[in-house]
Amino acid sequence: MANKFDIQIRAEKQYAILETAGYLNDALGERLSKEAQELIEKGYTQLVINLDKTALINSIGISILIEIIEALEQRDGTLNFCGLSATQERTFRMMAIAKYAGIFPDEKSAIANF
């Protein structure tokens, strides 16, 4: 359902995966940002955001993703996205996000390419 949302976190030794579900708007974006910030403070510098279960996203949600990219950059970290729909990927490329973050088809390739 489009407006039920959720975040799953899987923290491994070297990296952590944040998997969203539902509409990525300001509310889900802020929650995601808080989780990412906590992981960064714990020392994680390699994060994956998996948007596979997020069918819809708005530009306010994306602006918060950019904040996460910027926060990681300050620690010389990297953010890799995976599970984007064709339209999401197109939008991310238009917004130059593809220059400062990785875009991969699935978690496996996102993890392999830090």
Partner 1 sequence: MNRKKEAEKVSNTISNDLVLLTIPMRRDMELAAAQLASVIAESMSFYEQQVEEIQMATIEACINAFEHSKSPDQQVFTKFIMRSDELEIKITDQGVGFSHDNRAQQRNNKPDIHPEMRKRGWGLEIIHALMDSVNISSNNNGTTISMVKCKNETDQEDGQE
Residues in contact with partner 1 by the rule CB under 8 A: 1-4, 23, 25, 27, 55-60, 62-63, 66-67, 69-70, 73, 85-87, 90-91, 94-97, 99-100
Q: Supply φ then ψ for residue 50, to 5 degrees.
A: -100, 115
Q: Which is nearer to partner 1, 56 or 103 (CB)?
A: 56
Q: Which is nearer to partner 1, 33 or 109 (CB)?
A: 33
Looking at the DSSP bridge assignments, the partners of residue 11 are: 16
Q: Strand 78-82 and strand 16-21: pairing?
A: unpaired
Least gap, CB of 11 to partner 1 (angstroms):
25
d(CA 110, CA 114): 7
